[in-house]
Structure 1
Amino acid sequence: MRTIQRALLASTAVIAVVAGTGAAHAQASGSDPSVQLEEIIVTSTKRAERLQDVPVSVTALTQDVIERNNVRELGDLVKLSPGLSIDYGSQPGNFSIKMRGIGTFSNGIAVESDVAVVIDDVPIGFQAAAFKDLIDVERVEVLRGPQSTLFGKSAIAGVLNIVTAAPSDTFGGKAMALVTDDGEKRLGFTVTGPINDDIRVRLTVAKSDYDGNLKNLTTGKNVNGSSGLTATAKIEWTPTENLKFSVAPRFNHNVSSCCASAITELTPGLNYQGEPGFPATTTLRGITFDKNNHFVRSDDRIGGGNSEVFGGTVRLDYDFGEGSILKGHTFSSITSRDRWKMRDFQDIDGTDQPFLLGFPVASPSGINSGAVINGYFHAKSTTQEFRLTSPGTGRLRYVAGLWYAKNDLDRYLNRGPVLQLARYLAESTNENYSAYANATFDLTDKLSLTGGARFNRQKIDYQFHKTIFANTTLTSPTSVQEFSGANDDDAVTGKVGVQYKWTPDIMTYATYSTGYKGQAYDLVSTFDSKIAANMPVPPETAKNYELGFKSSLLDRRVYFNAALFRADYKGFQTSVTSFLPDGTFLTFLNSIGQLRTQGLELDGVARITSHFRLNGAFAYTDATVIDFPNGPCYSGQPLDLASPYPVGGVAAPGVCYTQLQPIVAGKPQTVSGRQQNLHGKRLNNVPKYKFSLGGQYDIDLPDNVPFKAFIGANVRWQDDINFSLSQDPRTVQKAYSITDLTVGITDREGKYKLTAFANNLFDKRYAQGLGNGTSGYSNPAIPTAQGKTWFPGRDAFRYFGARLDVNF
């Protein structure tokens, strides 16, 4: 609590300085509109409202902020919203978005996300499909905390609500080109306007290429990059003044070379798989191991995915007019259909050597290759929403609707060819039927009550086809195991709150909300009859308490918002890694007993003068494990043989022990192996403190100069994080800060803008993932061997670039 108090005092001091500066200017300029902030309209409550009137902790990233920070995909949003983070897996299908430290990380297809990604009122059915280029975006709303009442069960931790630009009533367009000195190139083009009095069209096409910031010495190519081609369209038809139809087709093709990690530490004298014929000096030749290493050695296809999205949305909006009992209401029908497919591949041995040629354990031997994973993901999503929205005026304002969604998912994985063999086809379908309502009632001009509820019915099923190998040979007898199951579940979530307007520009609110995410299946290579007998994994639930303050100060020169929150999550679903006593590495789904996240969030924007604008955000997030007695130990964690696991009891936190733990329905889905009690431990990849501060100053030049200049900067800082839930001391990323700088010119009519930028100006290294292990290298003579790897962020190395924007 003292930490929160100190943060509040610090934020108050900052805003007081900003307000004082603005007040001094206000006295000189009166109500000059040029120094006022624009009103931000959001749809975070499924109706258009002023950001400052919405009783939700939400950050709205407007189009100018998105363009100024060169946002290309979801990973770039982490820079601008401190409460947001992303866990990166071994390939794009395993990425996971976190809000306030909460986000499901799973290698299986039958586990929903905790953070919903919604684009133009349509949620992404399988979160991995959201990791593509974002184009023609008008606004991104980052909604923190459980949003299940309005956005469904995949929004138990929050929502990324993305709104793209609508067709224009006048002809126009824009073009953009970006290039950097480290191999990134982007091109984008948009044209919009009316076809006739009733029809308007918008078409956007964008192409991006980025080689990556690690280099494969074997091929000479960079990796951890991506290339994408995206095309979207919107066609709006208004046959009458009360009726509007719209059709929005979309397409994306993305090829990713993700996700390689470079070795930064490795004990000398090790051999790959312990074989003297494969010394590290050969398999990793030319690589110097240090914290800056950005070289790897691998076969040509080091890893990544090749994905495509085809889809579209059809929408109808009807405004009830005079003579109707629903005068002023709007009825909306939103129908979507999307198909996403991705082929993934990964060189899992991390070398460029055909080591199976001489690996004695391999049978049959003489195979001219290394070890690989390949396979595919398919996801087909269909949604239908019927929504009724009341007028924005009146004492009672509400939105109510019916919702249907169906997701058909499948995943094929093939790992081999002769070692660590695994081959399976997993198929799963989930259907959801929901009815929801949310309302605000003004008791007085200042006091309002809010409330809402959602009833959801989920039906899920799965089929799992697994090839069983008698041992690690291709010639061994094999068999196929078949598993299947089906379940359904009903849940009710809700939200209640009160808000009070002290003045038209200052509002406080208090809310209590619940969240729910449905049952899940652990459809990965470890799936067997024991796990199948105890499926599904129980649902995940949440209870969230929030106090908020929103203000528009100094004649709309300053926006300052704050939120205090505390949320408890029970049955949290996430995949964790564990090691068996023989060293075997496993990933399996857990239903963690209880997590808690609490903290403080601040957002502020200030127009200091008509030429100078500042924006900032701060998050204090205390995300911890409350109940997880069967958590994983980390690699190399000493076993406490003197303190055996007490029968019927719980081991002390942090004690690693070995215990035969049976799988029990409703309990963590663990295995026989090394375990520890993680009570009181912090969640992985969640900084306790994080902030960003940015601004832009517009420079007026003499009137005879046909353009004006600008300069901008953005600084973000975050506290220490541990990338491992097991609390591995060797996977800690120390606190760091990143500074970006921009300078540019624009013509006085705003048609042309040329920007030069330097990202990570001071060349500060940081990782988006750290690994503790020797990457398959060992030597019986060196039992204490150690190794470490890092997965660098996009801007973990300084780079420079230029961007040209043209409007017509």
Structure 2
Amino acid sequence: MTGPLTPGALRRRPAFRLTPLASAVALALLGALPAHAQQSGDAAATTPAAPATDQLKLESVVVTANRRVEKLEDVPASISVLGEEYMQRNNVRELVDIINLSPALSVSVGTQVGTNSINMRGIGTTSNNLGIEGDVAILVDDIPYAQTQQAFKDMTDMARVEVLKGPQSTLFGKSAIAGAVVMTTKPIGAGPMQTRVSVYDTSDHEYRVAASLSGRLTDTFGLRLYASKTNFPGMLHNLTNDSMQNGSGAKTFMAKLQWKISNDLDVLITPRFDHSLATGNTAAITSIGPGVGYLYNKNYTALSNTAVLRGIHVSQWNREIRNDSPTGLEATDRALGVRVNYAFPDSSPLAGHSLTSITSVDNNLSNDFRDNDNIDLISTYYQVNAAGKPSGIAESPMINGTLESKTSTQEFRLTSPDRGNFRYLVGLWAARNTLYRTYLRGNAFVKETNYTNYDTNSGSLTHAIYANTNWDFAPKQSLSAGLRYNHEANDYSFHTIDSLSSTAANNVHTGENLYVAPQNKENAVTGKVGYTYHLNDEMMVYGTASTGHKGVAYDMTSGANNVNVFAHLPLAPEKATSFEAGFKANLWNNRATLNAAIFQTRFRDYQTSATERFTDGSQASVLYSIPSLQTRGFEADATVLATRALLLNASMAYTRAVVRDWTQGPCYSGATDCTIPNQLVPGSFLRDASGGMMPNAPKWKASMGGEYTLPAVSWMPYVAAINAQWRTQAKVQGAISQDPSLQRPGYGIFDLGASIKDAKGKYKLSFGVKNLFDHHYAVGNVGSFLNFKKAAGGSDIRSYGWQPARDAFRYTSIRLDVAF
């Protein structure tokens, strides 16, 4: 196993192969049906371990989309659920693993891990500005993450993940305008204390170690303790220091302490600590034009392409790089949740009701860093100073930023009994969120390093009241409705310590400046309404309409060093209107389920960034609203218990996420239709981007899979199974500019696994082959890599790169789970 994951110090280990595993998998293939692929709608559905006389049926799947526990088939909404067994079978560790298993989700990879974003039905934030909230809310045990970047780490000790599609602002708040991912961790065991240990290792040197202790100490007190350590060195080999890049690892500790004070009152306390390090999102060069050239300027002969790329074997699937500084995100998260639940006694006027209080505090401190020039030669040394001479500064032009996020929330819910024709929930919500950002880039005396040094604050105080109702007004018909009133107050300041003017001819410093915005206040109302008709006891159809709202945004990037930017702040709220119709069925005596939906959602004033030239001749990146976007399509999840031994599941999504109205779209290199006068930069031209595809939004994405339990042998007290998974997606556009060089082709990935466990479930040994057919594919950062100036003049020598996905190359795994 490798040591702790540290920036720039991930040494390579000699490769090894689990050849016995490959042999075992080949034998398993000969003896069983290859049930391929995934399901997003699987969830807790597993093959029942019951005598042959028991009724053969799928286990029930429960969700909390309406803030109460309900059966999936009773909720009029498109929801995909990933259950514990399914996630374990697919070795889910990080949020990206969940995204891979859910066709409605995709990820946009930024220049740094901290600017990655999540897309739901093709819609997500496309700006790297931390002042813009994400479009998809992430909640763990009813507690939301303040920043999307907090979710790109280990998703530990998970029991269930619900993917709620479409606007969820009414019940989950303003950051759920496109949808929500709701995660539930494993509960405290109902019996005596039990320990579980899990160890995982792969042929490309990833390891995971986890242990939990859970159970009841007394009739009134129970606890669950969980700790884990994970490490994956990375996908790219840095020749400069023989380390690995684009990896991740974490140390996590979680606890649940539950005290049943009386029959009506219980308290759950959930502290959590997490330290994570992700070394991405670095690209590797894949192709380069012929000839010899020089980086930045043809006079920088020491920065020739032969020197910069020395030792790198440039090829389509190259994984070698040369960086003298690491790139990544290191974060520490400390959180505490307190949940108090009171069940009103039978003698109360509110008999059967429950009152729940959920309190949380979270402090997340992260440090993002990046190799600014993407080479291992000190480019600053050769770049010119204000006098036009090489600076001679032997200091690498790194990027280093910090973000401190502090969040506190308080929620009260009154929930009616589950029985009766009319059910309701009423809630009060309050949250305070503050962001403090520092950022240092480049060198103060070398303009080409884009020097900037600033700090900025952004804070919000939110109060909301919401309600949700369900009314069975006829034997087969019901109505549901929800409403939320939200009040938000925002504060913002930006402090330029110093920077080099991006548009001045020489090294002109902007100097120090402090801007404090007046407090902004706004009110918003969102709602949803739905109708359900039960065709019979097993099938229902539904239709829903809902609205979404995301709050104002402030600029927390270096663009705000230009004082003209503040006239644009705050950026107007983003809004959405959605319509959905669906069908849900339990078929074949509860041995099969089918959930299908069609949808259309329109977004107004979509928040992003653009470049503006001001009246004083300067220009900068500013926050900007795209008038209209739209996503529509079809999605379905299915699960079939074909036999007592064979479980199959599949899910798919067809999505058309497009820009409806944007006549001021950006031009890209080589664009020939830049004929629209730029309203922000007089004298320049843009292109009409209306009709363009949203970035990282595949038109179709699907997955299918299954597990087959091998026939039992009387003389062997073990249960063996094989499983298979296939997922595929169409090509995607890499940028909202529609630059064709940033498109990434579609792909299909096939995984195979096998497991054996004892009949009592105390031991389980699992094997797996990820990407069995070794199909290489990129997750981001395709397109232009480095450009070199030819010594003889003429066109630049262009190069291109890629960022391989975690499973872009085949690897094998072994896992041992022990309970005692």
The within-5 A match list for 1:206-605 is 206-268=228-290, 269-274=292-297, 275-299=300-324, 301-361=325-385, 365-417=391-443, 418=446, 419-469=449-499, 479-485=511-517, 486-527=519-560, 528-575=562-609, 588-605=622-639
Judged with a 3 Å threshold, the aligned counterparts in structure 2 of structure 1 residues 131 and 585 are, in CA distance, closer, same or farther, namely farther
Q: 1:783 matched to which residue of 2?
A: 795
In structure 1, give the amino acid aligned to 2:526: T
1:681 aligns with 2:692: yes
Question: Residues 635 and 773 of structure 1 are in contact (CA less than 8 Å); yes or no, is this contact kept in structure 2?
Answer: no
What secondary structure does 1:533 align onto? Answer: helix
Question: Residues 103 and 702 of structure 2 are in contact (CA less than 8 Å); yes or no, is this contact kept in structure 1?
Answer: yes
Partners of 2:787 and 2:137 lie apart in 1 by: 36
The within-5 A match list for 1:167-206 is 167-170=188-191, 171-206=193-228
Q: 2:32 matched to which residue of 1?
A: none
Aligned match of 2:734 in 723, 735, 742? 723
What secondary structure does 1:526 align onto? Answer: helix
Deviation at 1:91, TM superposition (A): 1.6
Cα deviation 1:119-160 (Å, max 9, x = unaligned): 101111111112111111110000000001100110000000
699-708 or 399-408, which moves further after superposition?
699-708
What secondary structure does 1:81 align onto? Answer: coil
The within-5 A match list for 1:580-729 is 588-638=622-672, 655-657=673-675, 659-662=677-680, 674-729=685-740
What secondary structure does 2:741 align onto? Answer: helix
1:153 aligns with 2:174: yes
Partners of 1:73 and 1:315 lie apart in 2 by: 26
Partners of 2:734 and 2:378 lie apart in 1 by: 32
Deviation at 1:261, TM superposition (A): 0.5
Question: Residues 251 and 275 of structure 2 are in contact (CA less than 8 Å); yes or no, is this contact kept in structure 1?
Answer: yes
Partners of 2:612 and 2:501 lie apart in 1 by: 22
In structure 1, give the amino acid aligned to 2:414: L
Question: Residues 770 and 788 of structure 1 are in contact (CA less than 8 Å); yes or no, is this contact kept in structure 2?
Answer: no
Cα deviation 1:504-539 (Å, max 9, x = unaligned): 221111000000001111221112322201211111
In structure 2, give the amino acid aligned to 1:426: T
Cα deviation 1:31-78 (Å, max 9, x = unaligned): 964631100111111000001111111001010011111000100012
Q: 1:642 matched to which residue of 2?
A: none
What secondary structure does 2:800 align onto? Answer: strand
Question: Residues 379 and 410 of structure 1 are in contact (CA less than 8 Å); yes or no, is this contact kept in structure 2?
Answer: yes
Question: Residues 661 and 672 of structure 1 are in contact (CA less than 8 Å); yes or no, is this contact kept in structure 2?
Answer: no
Judged with a 3 Å threshold, the aligned counterparts in structure 2 of structure 1 residues 543 and 478 are, in CA distance, closer, same or farther, namely closer
Partners of 1:699 and 1:138 lie apart in 2 by: 26
Cα deviation 1:414-443 (Å, max 9, x = unaligned): 111132111111110011110000000001
Deviation at 1:263, TM superposition (A): 1.1
Pairs aligned (count) = 757
How many percent identity over aligned positions?
38
What secondary structure does 1:631 align onto? Answer: coil
Deviation at 1:193, TM superposition (A): 1.1
What secondary structure does 1:730 align onto? Answer: helix
Structure with more contact order per residue of length (Cα contacts < 8 Å, sep ≥ 6): 2
Question: Residues 565 and 622 of structure 2 are in contact (CA less than 8 Å); yes or no, is this contact kept in structure 1?
Answer: no
Question: Residues 786 and 798 of structure 2 are in contact (CA less than 8 Å); yes or no, is this contact kept in structure 1?
Answer: no
Partners of 2:570 and 2:60 lie apart in 1 by: 47
Cα deviation 1:256-286 (Å, max 9, x = unaligned): 2111101112223232213222111111111
789-798 or 466-475, which moves further after superposition?
466-475
Deviation at 1:355, TM superposition (A): 2.1
527-536 or 692-701, which moves further after superposition?
527-536
Partners of 1:279 and 1:767 lie apart in 2 by: 27
In structure 2, give the amino acid aligned to 1:218: T
TM superposition score normalised by structure 2: 0.89
Q: 2:42 matched to which residue of 1?
A: none
Q: Any stretches of 5+ residues in structure 2 without a counterpart?
A: 1-34, 40-49
Cα deviation 1:99-138 (Å, max 9, x = unaligned): 0011113322321111000110111111111211111111
Aligned match of 1:125 in 146, 155, 164? 146
Deviation at 1:578, TM superposition (A): 10
Aligned match of 2:163 in 128, 132, 142? 142
What secondary structure does 1:129 align onto? Answer: helix
Deviation at 1:288, TM superposition (A): 2.2
Q: 2:8 matched to which residue of 1?
A: none
What secondary structure does 2:302 align onto? Answer: coil
Judged with a 3 Å threshold, the aligned counterparts in structure 2 of structure 1 residues 787 and 588 are, in CA distance, closer, same or farther, namely farther
Question: Residues 787 and 799 of structure 2 are in contact (CA less than 8 Å); yes or no, is this contact kept in structure 1?
Answer: no
What secondary structure does 2:102 align onto? Answer: coil
TM superposition score normalised by structure 1: 0.90
Output the aligned Cα RMSD. Answer: 2.4
Q: 1:7 matched to which residue of 2?
A: none
Partners of 1:259 and 1:272 lie apart in 2 by: 22
Question: Residues 770 and 790 of structure 1 are in contact (CA less than 8 Å); yes or no, is this contact kept in structure 2?
Answer: yes
Partners of 2:289 and 2:463 lie apart in 1 by: 56
The within-5 A match list for 1:765-776 is 765-776=776-787
Question: Residues 337 and 380 of structure 1 are in contact (CA less than 8 Å); yes or no, is this contact kept in structure 2?
Answer: yes
Deviation at 1:579, TM superposition (A): 12
What secondary structure does 2:782 align onto? Answer: strand
What secondary structure does 2:491 align onto? Answer: strand
What secondary structure does 1:277 align onto? Answer: helix
Partners of 1:452 and 1:555 lie apart in 2 by: 33
Partners of 1:776 and 1:369 lie apart in 2 by: 22
Question: Residues 676 and 688 of structure 2 are in contact (CA less than 8 Å); yes or no, is this contact kept in structure 1?
Answer: no
Partners of 1:77 and 1:477 lie apart in 2 by: 46
Q: Any stretches of 5+ residues in structure 1 without a counterpart?
A: 1-13, 19-28, 639-654, 663-669
Q: 1:745 matched to which residue of 2?
A: 756
Cα deviation 1:88-107 (Å, max 9, x = unaligned): 11222111111001111332
